Chain A
Amino acid sequence: MQASFRFLALPLLLAGLGTTLPAAAAELNVEIDIPRLDVAEYHKPYLAVWIEKADQSVAANLTVRYSPKKNNEGTKWLKDLRQWWRRSGRELEQAQLDALAGATPAVGAFKLRTTVGKAPLTSLPPGEYKLGVEAARESGGRELVYLPFQWPPKQTQQLNAKGEHELGGISLELKP
């Protein structure tokens, strides 16, 4: 009896203080398989991951992976992420790009965990969305895969898609 009373005490105390126990934060987690390709000259791909609204405008960019190289020369090829460039990339200031940037992904599983409410996904109003995943490889191809989803899901949901050439399996985990 005493144990259960103490167990209830903390939430009651916090409620009394005007706060509540924090709810688990909503998450949007992406896992992308960067395939092993049998080519003479392999370069790790440039990769962009973003969330697009029903009207094709960008709700948020999640990441942009590229190689800056010397004097930022590497930004030259960002336009090869054609769809992303057109929907968002070309409008970004260098500082915004820097905040999203990371190294090109290695072969294998590329994981991205995002908390809704924290940068880069500061908010995600309820609605219909598409996750955009685009990869472009030097001396190689380019592929774009869209994964439609509804936000928020009623319970934790996992959605899958698959690329054919430059991208392997893509899984999107939605935690309300």
Chain B
Amino acid sequence: MTLRSLTLRPLKLAALIALGGLGLHLSPASAHSLWLQPSSTILAKAQWITVDAAVSNDFFFYSAAPLALDNLTVTAPDGSTLAPENLLKGKLRSVFDLNLSQAGTYRIAVVNSGVMASYKLNGEMKRWRGTAESFAKEVPADAEELKVNESLGRIETFATVGKPSPVKAISKGLELVQIGAKTSHPNDLVAGEAASFRLLLDGKPAANLAVTLVRGGTRYRNQLNEIKTSSDGDGKFSVTWPEAGLYFLEAETKDGKTSVSAAKERRVTYAATLEVLPQ
């Protein structure tokens, strides 16, 4: 995969990175992954953490582009929004600090939604990227051979101060939820133990979706050793962690629930960074 990205013509790579920044996440085989990396996920007292955000193919190495933080939302245990501080958008990564002052679980997420269109105007092929809201204003009504694609992507991670609190549904796009004892809390993961998760799509069980996990540190081994599984009819899947480390989890699906009528299909993606501690 790494060799392939090196041979991509510069323009295509730039376009892919720009798309990555907008959150239009293409499949891992053809583009980079978007991820967050928190400095800690388990804290014994209120304190600051720092989070890196990047677009790259290797976990968790910065090798391509920073992840745009325009659509970053941090939700505190009480449901309020926490403002990130000391934001930086560098060459290879973005960084931000968070002052975690409440006991419970914080949800740290970048949620990108976008529309991509191609059309012919006066014999010329045109490409357009933007939001669902600006689509009607910016794409001419008389555009020919109009092809529209919509996407919704959620990139997130979790951090807990003290006792973990439930991860409740937001009910938009793909997400992992945890309520009660039947599913594992994302900040309570231990090597050698089986964890079970529930994936939702727009608040309903995301059934029969392929889920892939990769442990970080890919640079230091020969095989990716991906864990491949899928959600059942109830959106549930489980993973037995082979080793401690930081894991990248992703899942994606397509459906017709677009917000722009010209778009026939919506691509929904989910990426999470989960920390697994040793026994």
Q: Does A76 contact B45, Cβ atoms closer than 8 Å? A: yes
Shortest C-beta distance, A86 to chain B (Å), equals 7
A89-B42 Cα distance, complex, nearest whole Å: 12
**Size band of the interface chain B makes with A:** 10 to 19
Q: Does A78 contact B44, Cβ atoms closer than 8 Å? A: yes
A150-B166 Cα distance, complex, nearest whole Å: 36
Task: Enumerate B202-228 residues with CB–CB distance to A below 8 Å.
Answer: none
Q: Please tell me which one of the listed residues B43, B163, B190 contacts residue A91 in the complex, with CB atoms under 8 A apart.
A: B163
Q: Does B188 contact A79, Cβ atoms closer than 8 Å? A: no
Q: Does A76 contact B47, Cβ atoms closer than 8 Å? A: yes
A79-B47 Cα distance, complex, nearest whole Å: 13
Q: Does B44 contact A82, Cβ atoms closer than 8 Å? A: no
Contacts of B42 in A (CB 8 A): 79, 85
Question: Does A6 sit within 8 A of B, measured CB to CB?
Answer: no
Q: Does B277 contact A77, Cβ atoms closer than 8 Å? A: no
Shortest C-beta distance, A100 to chain B (Å), equals 15
Central interface residue in B44, B163, B164, B188, by most chain A CB within 10 Å: B44
Q: Please tell me which one of the listed residues A78, A79, A82, A89 contacts residue B278 in the complex, with CB atoms under 8 A apart.
A: A82
The residue of chain A having its C-beta at the shortest distance from the C-beta of B43 within the complex is A79
Question: Does A157 sit within 8 A of B, measured CB to CB?
Answer: no
Task: Enumerate A47-83 residues with CB–CB distance to B below 8 Å.
Answer: 72, 75-79, 82-83
Contacts of B43 in A (CB 8 A): 76, 79
Contacts of A82 in B (CB 8 A): 277-278
Main SS at interface, chain A? helix
Given A79-B42, A91-B163, is A86 in contact with B188 using a C-beta cutoff of 8 Å?
yes
The residue of chain B having its C-beta at the shortest distance from the C-beta of A79 within the complex is B44
A30-B188 Cα distance, complex, nearest whole Å: 30
**Size band of the interface chain A makes with B:** 10 to 19
Per-residue A-contact encoding for B147-182, CB less than 8 Å = 1, 0 else: 000000000000000111000000000000000000
Q: Does B277 contact A75, Cβ atoms closer than 8 Å? A: no
Shortest C-beta distance, B102 to chain A (Å), equals 14
Q: Does A75 contact B188, Cβ atoms closer than 8 Å? A: no
Task: Enumerate A129-167 residues with CB–CB distance to B below 8 Å.
Answer: none
A89-B45 Cα distance, complex, nearest whole Å: 11
Q: Does A72 contact B163, Cβ atoms closer than 8 Å? A: no
The residue of chain B having its C-beta at the shortest distance from the C-beta of A75 within the complex is B45
Contacts of A72 in B (CB 8 A): 45
Q: Does A76 contact B44, Cβ atoms closer than 8 Å? A: yes
**Chain A residues in contact with chain B, CB under 8 A?**
72, 75-79, 82-83, 85-86, 89-91
Q: List 14 A-B contacts (CB under 8 A).
A: A72-B45, A76-B44, A76-B47, A79-B42, A79-B43, A79-B44, A82-B277, A82-B278, A85-B42, A86-B188, A86-B190, A90-B162, A90-B164, A91-B163
**Chain B residues in contact with chain A, CB under 8 A?**
42-45, 47, 162-164, 188, 190, 277-279
Query: Which 7 A-B pairs have CB atoms at the shortest separation, nearest pair first?
Result: A79-B44, A78-B44, A75-B45, A90-B163, A76-B45, A90-B162, A79-B42
Q: A82-B277, A90-B163 are in contact. List 13 more A-B contacts (CB 8 A).
A: A72-B45, A75-B44, A76-B44, A76-B45, A76-B47, A77-B44, A79-B44, A82-B278, A83-B279, A85-B42, A89-B44, A90-B44, A90-B162
